[in-house]
Amino acid sequence: MSDFTAKDVQALRQASGAGMMDAKRALEEAGGDMERAKEILREKGLADVKKRSGRRQGEGAIGHYLHSQAGRPVIGVLVELASETDFVAKSDEFLEMADDIAMHIAAARPRWVTREDVPAEVVDKERELIAAQARNEGKPDHIIDKIVEGRIGSFYQDNVLYDQTFVRSEKFEGTIGEMVGALAAKMGENISVARFARLQVGEADG
């Protein structure tokens, strides 16, 4: 018989950031002693926050949003929010965030999830256009590079999901990247937007 309950496993997982099975094994090894189980996790490095980002995200949920006009859907969004465990993926807070992000995507129309997803040739072309625009505005050559760096940030804010400010500021003040990071810290495991698709009536591209 186990000297601990499912609630004990949940409490240890939330306190340490370890996965469900790792928390269960630690409690088994500790004979149900919560503090000793935490020590075991620390000894094994399973609760190291620095390692969290490298842990596999094999679970998650699909968030969705439909925007209607005159009684018919005209914009539809699906977004995959990934997590490490099904325990987190099934939580109300996780599911709510997936739908919130889908709603945001419908309104803000991002093209990529992160800056790393933007093709290098797209960034290079944008830099060229910004530089040309600055020269046409009569800006001196020695400050062109600074202008490009400043305005490329605006390009990311317009087109990259994680750089965009969440459209419902009354619910969360910050970017989507910060919002996802806050949930990851609260849940104690790696959470991220894996991908999304946005469809709008009359548009060739979502």
pLDDT, tens digit, for every residue of 137-151?
888 888 888 888 888
- CATH entry 1.10.8.10 includes domain 6-47: yes
Reading the block at residue 90, the tokens are: 């099934």
- Supply the pTM of this predicted model: 0.69
What are the residues whose beta carbons fall under 8 Å from the beta carbon of 145, sequence distance 6 or more?
none
At 94 the pLDDT is 96
Return the CATH number of 59-115+160-200, one of 3.30.479.20, 3.20.20.70, 3.80.30.20, 2.30.30.110. Answer: 3.30.479.20
Going by C-alpha positions, the residue among 91, 117, 112, 109 that lies closest to residue 167 is: 109
Return the CATH number of 119-157, one of 1.10.10.10, 3.40.109.10, 1.10.286.20, 3.40.449.10. Answer: 1.10.286.20
Amino acid at 47: A
Average pLDDT over residues 100-128: 95
Going by C-alpha positions, the residue among 120, 106, 88 that lies closest to residue 164 is: 106
Going by C-alpha positions, the residue among 147, 154, 148 that lies closest to residue 115 is: 154
**Mean pLDDT lowest for which of 50-54, 55-59, 67-71, 151-155?**
50-54
What are the residues whose beta carbons fall under 8 Å from the beta carbon of 141, sequence distance 6 or more?
135
With cut-offs at 50, 70 and 90, classify the pLDDT of residue 57.
Answer: low
Mean pLDDT of the chain: 86
Q: Reduced to 3 states, what is the DSSP secondary structure of residue 74?
A: strand
User: Which residue blocks in 1-76 are alpha helix, DSSP H?
Assistant: 6-16, 20-29, 34-44
Check residue 85 and give left, alpha or beta (phi > 0: left; psi -120 to 50: alpha): beta
Please state, for a pLDDT cut of 90, what percent of the chain lies above it. Answer: 48
Say whether pLDDT at 51 is over 60.
no
With cut-offs at 50, 70 and 90, classify the pLDDT of residue 41.
Answer: confident
What is the bridge-based pairing of β-strands 72-83 and 192-200?
A: antiparallel
Secondary-structure percent of the chain, ordered helix, strand, coil, rounded to 5: 55, 15, 30
Average pLDDT over residues 38-51: 63
Q: Are 75 and 193 in contact (CB under 8 A)?
A: no
Ranges of each domain in the chain:
6-47, 59-115+160-200, 119-157
